A and B are shown apart, each in its own frame.
Chain A
Amino acid sequence: GNSVTQMEGPVTLSEEAFLTINCTYTATGYPSLFWYVQYPGEGLQLLLKATKADDKGSNKGFEATYRKETTSFHLEKGSVQVSDSAVYFCALGATNKLIFGTGTLLAVQP
């Protein structure tokens, strides 16, 4: 079946540090992959997506590349800010359904 495995948190970084949050998936067929973000006290927002192998999704300085050979979709940002502190969810989309990873709490300190 389809599943998503996500790096456990919390991840604590200093401002301007490099961020990687690992995400791997198991799927039949060719799913779409997403990163969602949940800021404190707010709802879930789509951060970026990729719909096929080798696609790179990007938004707000965040990037993730759909790697079919390693079944991965790792989230990266070159220089994090305090305002990036949030919970990040990796998700797999197939047959109109989203399957979420467990979420990774990112805390960025000034």
Chain B
Amino acid sequence: SAVISQKPSRDICQRGTSLTIQCQVDSQVTMMFWYRQQPGQSLTLIATANQGSEATYESGFVIDKFPISRPNLTFSTLTVSNMSPEDSSIYLCSVLRGARTGASGEQYFGPGTRLTVT
């Protein structure tokens, strides 16, 4: 498995501000993902971040709201922009290990960033 760290682990932010979350992996990985877990709910994929290309966003998520950087094979950032209380969630990054074609590759998750917007 991969060792994944996230910073910050938690934050309380005011509405209208932005927060950048960092995800660091202890080995090089091709595919990284960002998920959101709203209170008491399941995980929803925000976007897939591949090194050297633009992130691919899922339906309902846009780059202006959730810009993502992937400068190298061990690091990615997710920014939550112009925050509102509805953005209060746990944000998790994950990496894909296993077969590159993905059907059998499992994902390993970071510890998450707990964001509260007031």
Given A89-B42, A102-B42, the answer on whether A96 and B108 have CB atoms closer than 8 Å is no
A30 to B103, CA, bound (A): 8
Instruction: State the interface size on chain A (CB cutoff 8 A).
Output: 25
Which residues of A have CB within 8 Å of B108?
46
For the complex, is A98 an interface residue (Cβ under 8 Å from B)?
A: yes
Given A32-B103, A95-B103, the answer on whether A101 and B1 have CB atoms closer than 8 Å is no
Given A44-B43, A44-B92, A89-B42, the answer on whether A96 and B106 have CB atoms closer than 8 Å is no
Is B96 touching A100 in the complex (CB atoms < 8 A)? no
A29 to B103, CA, bound (A): 10
Interface residues of A in 56-100 (CB under 8 A from B): 89, 93-100
Is A96 touching B31 in the complex (CB atoms < 8 A)? yes
Identify which of B45, B103, B105 gathers the most chain A CB atoms within 10 Å of its CB: B103
Is B102 touching A102 in the complex (CB atoms < 8 A)? no
Is B48 touching A97 in the complex (CB atoms < 8 A)? yes
Is A100 touching B43 in the complex (CB atoms < 8 A)? yes
By secondary structure, the B interface counts as strand
Given A46-B1, A89-B42, A93-B102, the answer on whether A98 and B92 have CB atoms closer than 8 Å is no
CB distance from B77 to the nearest CB of A (A): 18
Given A44-B92, A44-B109, A46-B106, the answer on whether A102 and B45 have CB atoms closer than 8 Å is no
Which residues of A have CB within 8 Å of B67?
none
Chain B 74-112, CB within 8 Å of chain A: the 1/0 string? 000000000000000000101010000111111111111
- Which residue of chain A is the closest to B109 with respect to CB atoms? A44
Which residues of A have CB within 8 Å of B42?
89, 100-103
Q: Other than A94-B103, A95-B102, give 12 A-B pairs with Cβ distance below 8 A.
A: A42-B111, A44-B112, A46-B106, A51-B103, A89-B42, A93-B107, A95-B103, A96-B102, A98-B43, A98-B107, A100-B44, A101-B42
Task: Give the interface of A toward B (CB within 8 A).
Answer: 29-32, 34, 36, 42-46, 49, 51, 89, 93-103
10 A-B contact pairs sorted by A residue (CB < 8 Å): A30-B103, A32-B106, A36-B109, A43-B111, A43-B112, A45-B109, A93-B106, A95-B103, A98-B107, A99-B45
